[in-house]
Amino acid sequence: MTNITHNITSLFRNATTPAAAPVSEPATIFAPHDVSIRIEPFKALRTDIRPQNPNETLHLVFVTEGEKHKLDTPKPTSNSTTLEPLTENPRFNFTAVHLLEHAHLTLYSSAHLSSWMRSLRNDTPLSALSIPGTHNSPTCHRALPSVRCQATSPPEQLDNGVRFLDIRVQPESPSDPSQDGLILVHGVFPISLTGNKYLRDLLKEVYTFLERNPSETVIMSLKREGTGDATDAQLSRILRDHYASDPNRWFTAPRIPYLGEARGKIVLIRRFALDDSLKQEWGGAGWGIDAENWADNTPNATCPSGDICVQDFYEVLETENIEKKIQFSQEHLRRAAECVCMLPGHDEVPPNPPPTQPFFINFLSASNFWKAGCWPDKIAAKLNPAIVDFLCRKHNEVDGVQPEQAQAAGDGSTGIVVCDWVGHKGNWDLVRCIVGMNAKLEMRERDQ
């Protein structure tokens, strides 16, 4: 095993995985060393704690409010590790993300990823949150190269913390308003080689998740793709008439909601134009959060509605361009982190809400159909670890200054981070890091 950390960062709020088998006590008590190091929330601390040689494992004990929690590290896995409580009936749980290359250990307080929104206040603007998302979310089936973007199904994504779904559909019978068939596609291709998959079946899975977890909301971006001569206007009528008419299940107002308004519902972001009849919805303001004029292949652009600020640079034609994609993704994380949420002074949705920040939507996805090295899984294998590293070591810095030296850096939100191939081989570390970045906002809410 390689060298252990000399940097320890303490953060809060993330989810757990089963702990790896602990090192036996006789194997660990070979060089006990008592230290007294205080680690404050959001602080980075450099220490001289390290093993005597690269083959050793460190047995670390962290104490918080009298409780002790043990971590044996490094582990023979790149995934995060749950700390073992040494106290009966512990009030706290912690997860560690260990970056071996940089000798850096990040600690998160553990939340349940299936219901991580329940600890946040109702009057929190949804755009202030750090939200994990997936790109072409249902493309987890056997498909053509570059069509498949996900390792796991939408239900598994939701259970593991994902709250933004990116959906592309093709109307099956656009000229017949009585027909509700919407085929799930990626570009001009179906998402499965074994037969068409449909939006209605996907929505049943989302409804089931929200019924089990009423504290949560799911933001759904919908866009028309595929083949044929269907129009955006036809798609908008199909969605309104057959899918999104129930206000108990859908939030379709053309504005960013507060969490309390959205709990238990799907929040619609529309990447399509409206039929004239829908332009009169909501007092003539339209229908759904407007992302119709979404800039193509952009490193940073704001939709004319002002509700969406997006990084969606996806034309990675050569593997060398992956570094450019990483740079654009990190720059957009910084934009989101600088924002400070305007918190009302009570727990309900405010009657006269202040202006909210836009959704910062940050696509980590990119591909080139003609180069196997630039297919979604290959790009994700480089991009996802780079973003985990950035979130653990550099997120919410100001000009290279660590957060403890720059308290005005903002709430440290990530915005909506839209990923490919999260959960591959059980690795949800990127999702855990994103959810964990809600900690600073949550602490502000608790202290207000």
Which positions are annotated as active-site residues? 135, 186
Residues 127, 358 contacting (CB under 8 angstroms): yes
Q: Measuring CA to CA, how many Å separate 407 from each of 109, 291, 410, 440?
A: 21, 33, 7, 11
Which amino acid does the sequence have at 397?
E
Supply 403's token pair.
Answer: 């957060």
Non-local (6+) Cβ contacts of 328 within 8 A are 299, 300, 311, 313
- 289 forms beta bridges with 269
- Residue 376, phi then psi, degrees to nearest 5: -50, -40
Residue 279 identity (one-letter amino acid): K
- Which strands, in side-by-side order, build the sheet including 84-85? 58-64, 67-73, 84-85
Contact 349, 419 (CB under 8 A): no
Instruction: For residue 113, give every residue at least 6 positions away whose Cβ sits within 8 Å of its Cβ, in sequence order, or none.
Output: 15, 159, 160, 161, 428, 431, 432, 435
Write the DSSP assignment of 55-80 as a string of letters: T--EEEEEEETTEEEEEEES-SSSS-
Q: Are 134 and 179 in contact (CB under 8 A)?
A: no
**How far does Cα 294 stand from its chain's mean position?**
20
Q: Which two tokens stand for residue 57?
A: 């494992």
